[in-house]
Amino acid sequence: MNSIHFTEISIENKRLMNQVREIYENSFSKEIRFPWEYVLHKIKLEQIREKLHKRINEKYHLIGALLEDKLVAFFISKYFGEFAYCTFMAVDNSYRNQEIGTQVGLKVIETAKADAIEFHIRDSVLLFEIEKPDNAPNDAIKIDSERLIKFYIKKLNIIFLDIQYIEPTPILDGRDMYLAMYPFSKRNYIESDRLLSYIKRIYQLEYHLTPQKNTSKFERYMKIIHDSVNNRKKIYGINTL
């Protein structure tokens, strides 16, 4: 296993930001990725807010994995007061199958756990949005999605939640995705009301989709999610994927 070290990446570090862009564009197919300009704009806004201390019980991280001074992977994660949310996690194609992805995934978990401890949250969770293979636009993306699902389950012990989740995007009118969870307690479930409140916060803080500004779309997506919860008090993992 290669020995890597992690570092927070600032938007002012042009060298590393160029490498982040290269990894991002090579790791996510153009059919499903957001435009880099959109991602870069969000990074700038998040880091400005962080520097100005505009957040209350919130943290933002753009963390790179370096191997001999070369960026080989990165992730973006956020802590929204009670739960963590991983926006992106990607490994340079040239460094796959070297256990680097596992180290990065464990760092995402470690970072979210540290934030929960800082904010004194005992029963925190880390949430991921993950592509559904059956919805992939082509066979290559489908195969990659299937590989990632196995990675999340076997290497990181991630639980894929048994609900229908819609990812708002600036490109398409919503994508049907898996919503997955890493619990920081021994529970293998999450309460439905709690999960629904977290999804609303992701919609509002990550995608700027609110009942006030995007009423129709917000209500439509949330109805799909509510219907899939189907009056269950607790949401467990999917039995088979």
pLDDT surpasses 70 at 1: no
Q: Are 215 and 137 in contact (CB under 8 A)?
A: no
User: Which of 69, 86, 121 marks a domain boundary?
Assistant: 121
Residues 85 and 147 in one domain: no
Residues 106 and 181 in one domain: no
pLDDT surpasses 60 at 139: yes
User: Which of 121, 149, 175 marks a domain boundary?
Assistant: 121
Residues 190 and 81 in one domain: no
Q: Global pTM? A: 0.93
Residues 157 and 96 in one domain: no
Q: Pick left, alpha or beta for residue 120 (phi over 0 → left; psi -120 to 50 → alpha; otherwise beta).
A: left
The pLDDT assigned to 2 comes to 57
Mean pLDDT of 71-93: 95
**Helix 100-118 and helix 139-156, axial crossing angle in degrees, nearest 10:** 60
Summarize pLDDT for 16-39 with one digit per residue, the tens. Answer: 999 999 999 999 888 778 889 999
The pLDDT assigned to 89 comes to 96
Report how many domains make up the chain.
Answer: 2
Residues 22 and 101 in one domain: yes
Residues 92 and 165 in one domain: no
Q: Confidence class of residue 172 from pLDDT cuts 50, 70 and 90?
A: low
Residues 11 and 69 in one domain: yes
Of the candidate ranges 42-46, 50-54, 117-121, 203-207, the one whose mean pLDDT is the lowest = 50-54
Residues 83 and 151 in one domain: no
| Domain span including residue 13 | 1-121
Mean pLDDT of 227-237: 96
